[in-house]
Amino acid sequence: MIALVPGVLALLPEYASIEDPVPDLRAACLDAVAALGPRVRVLGTGSGERVGRHLVETAGAEVVDAGESGVLVVANGSAKRTEKAPGHLDERAEAFDETLRELLVGPDPAGLAAIDAELGAELWADVGGLVALGDLLAPGQAVDVTYDAAPFGVQYWVIRWSPDAVPSDA
Amino acid sequence: MTLRLGRHEFTDDATLMMAIVNRTPDSFYDKGATWAEDAAFERVRTVVEQGAEIVDIGGIKAAPGAEIGPAEEKERVVDLVARVRSTYPGLVISVDTWRAEVADAVCAAGADVLNDAWGGADPELVDVAAQHDAAIVCTHTGGVTPRTRPYRIEYDDVVAAAIADTVGYAERALAAGVAKESIVIDPAHDFGKNTFHSLELTRRVGEMVDTGWPVLVSLSNKDFVGETLDLPVGERLTGTLAATAVCALAGARIYRVHEVVETRQTVDMVWSIAGRRPPRRAIRGIQ
């Protein structure tokens, strides 16, 4: 079982508010992580990995380096989706995220492995974990997208991939 | 320690707005605006909507003036307390009185807190609080007679005097049977104190917090603010909020106020700066 969540710092307890600014996202993340089983390997960069570890621990699972029951990948799209986004509006961001979405939902492992990391950096996208994700997925795997929005000008996805292939007549 | 005010309990990190409701024709700030019972009740409705956790109903102004006996004081406040009790069961009702006889009547009508602004002038007040399981506010006045102005009062150390008197009063209340979690202390700015005293109490209010008793501060539009800034009643809100911020940083828990909304914002902001309250809703930079 594999899941993708965004590395949103507001998910960490040290950044908790009285009113959760991301209740739907948090719920989707925790649901996705809960499906990964008791031992979870976390793939992400920098603070994203910290967010992933926190979510795993919150779900009552253990973070492991090997022998995992599931893999949690922490990554997200561009932070330049709107004028009020952290990185202000970049007209290329929406198309970049659309391409990412297609690769993730496909899934398209070869496409993920070939993501334009330079453009991703320019668009403030956190895609470091997605290259490794490409190695884990197989074409035709069943995909469940439970969150897909850019509420603060940053594109988030919560996606689950189950090991089962989608039947060819589906 | 959980704070319990009559029927109501509050956690250790809660700050509370105690809104002043004057059932008087002559209080300094509102000059009788809520003298009629309906007007006083309307004031209660307003402050509840503004988020006040406590109303402090008073039937006698603090300054010298016409003598108001216990019978008349009761006439002014008891029915109002009963009406507020039945309309707002979740609201803490405090009554500003120093008289045990009045305290007994308002507790029977549903009051939760006895706010004795005059430092235990009536020794039986603590017994009434204990009988009704009500909370009590123990203030420092330097031993002056109720409804007198300070005149050439000096202290070796006003904060030490305030701590000694309020803690002594709190221990007397405890010995009389008032629950420990229902005792609050108040340095009582301007009561038996000149402006210099009230400023020093504000500056050193953390020493009162360090006693462990929850601290109430009553700063709203008072003369020490007016004299410090040379401003009349009606132009003292900014100064009041500055003093409020200093007391909040030190950890005062209850704020007796005319302006609920402004004080709540000030206290929440300072409480968050102090690291005792998360922001209401923070997302900037952590999306």
> pLDDT category, B1, cuts 50, 70, 90?
low
Per-residue DSSP letter, B18: E
A79 touches chain B (CB under 8 A): yes
B281 interface with A at CB cutoff 8 Å: yes
The alpha-carbon gap from A6 to the nearest alpha carbon of chain B, in Å, equals 9
- Cis amide linkage into residue A167, ω under 30° from 0: no
- Which residues of A fall within a CB distance of 8 Å from B278? 16-18
In chain B, residues with a C-beta closer than 8 Å to the C-beta of A8 are 286-287
CA distance A146 to chain B (A): 18
Q: How far is the C-alpha of B192 from the C-alpha of B161, rounded, in Å? A: 11
Q: Do B287 and A152 touch (CB under 8 A)?
A: yes
ipTM score: 0.91
Rounded mean pLDDT, B164-191: 97
- Whether B11 and chain A come into contact, CB under 8 Å, resolves to no
Query: What band does A170 get if pLDDT is binned at 50, 70 and 90?
Result: very low
- Written out in words, the top-level CATH class of the domain with range B3-273 is alpha beta
Which residues 6+ apart lie within 8 Å of B252 measured at CB?
Answer: B15, B205, B209, B215, B216, B217
Sign of torsion, CA A13 A14 A15 A18? positive
Closest to B211 measured CA to CA, from B279, B162, B256, B177: B162
Of B277, B280, B283, the CB nearest to A10: B283
The reported pTM is 0.92
Nearest CA to CA, how far is B271 from chain A (Å)? 13
Interface check A16 vs B, CB under 8 A: yes
Which letter does DSSP use for residue B144 in this model?
A: P
Q: Which chain B residues have a beta carbon less than 8 Å from that of A86?
A: 285, 287
Higher pLDDT pick, B119 / B235: B235
Q: Read off the amino acid at residue B55.
A: V
Q: What is the pLDDT of residues B237-279, one digit of tens each?
A: 999 999 999 999 999 999 999 999 999 999 999 999 999 999 9
Say if B276 is an interface residue toward chain A (CB within 8 Å). Answer: no
CB-based contact, B287 to chain A, within 8 Å: yes
**Binary contact (A21, B282; C-beta < 8 A):** yes
Residue B155 pLDDT greater than 70, yes or no: yes
Closest-CA distance of chain B to residue A154, Å: 7
Residue type for position B117: A
Q: Are B21 and B58 in contact (CB under 8 A)?
A: yes
- Indicate the SS3 state at residue B276: coil
- Percent pLDDT > 70 in chain B is 100
Asked whether the predicted pLDDT for residue B151 surpasses 90, the reply is no
The fourth-level CATH superfamily of domain A2-163 is LigB-like (3.40.830.10)
Query: What residues in A contact B280, CB-CB < 8 Å?
Result: 17-19
Q: What is the pLDDT of residues B123-136, one digit of tens each?
A: 999 999 999 999 99
Instruction: Tell me the pairing of strands A2-5 and A70-74.
Output: parallel
- Check whether A169 has a pLDDT greater than 70: no
In this predicted structure, the answer to whether residue B180 has a pLDDT above a threshold of 80 is: yes
pLDDT number for residue B270 = 98
DSSP string, B177-220: T--GGGEEEE--TTTT--HHHHHHHHHTHHHHHTTSS-BEEE-T
Contact B287 A18 (CB under 8 A): no
Q: What SS3 class is residue B23? A: coil
Give B67→chain A minimum CA distance, Å.
48
Cβ–Cβ contact A164 with B under 8 A: no
Q: Which of B279, B281, B287 sits opposite A8 (nearest CB)?
A: B287
pLDDT tens by residue, B23-37? 988 888 888 889 988
Q: Is B286 in contact with A9 (Cβ distance < 8 A)?
A: yes
Chain B residues whose beta carbon lies within 8 Å of the beta carbon of residue A153: 287
Query: pLDDT by residue (tens digit) across A9-60?
Result: 999 999 999 999 999 999 999 999 999 999 999 999 899 999 999 999 999 9
Q: Which of B282, B285, B287 sits opposite A17 (nearest CB)?
A: B282
pLDDT at B66 over 90: no
A79 vs B277, B282, B287: nearest CB = B287
- Percent helix, strand, coil in chain A (nearest 5)? 35, 20, 40
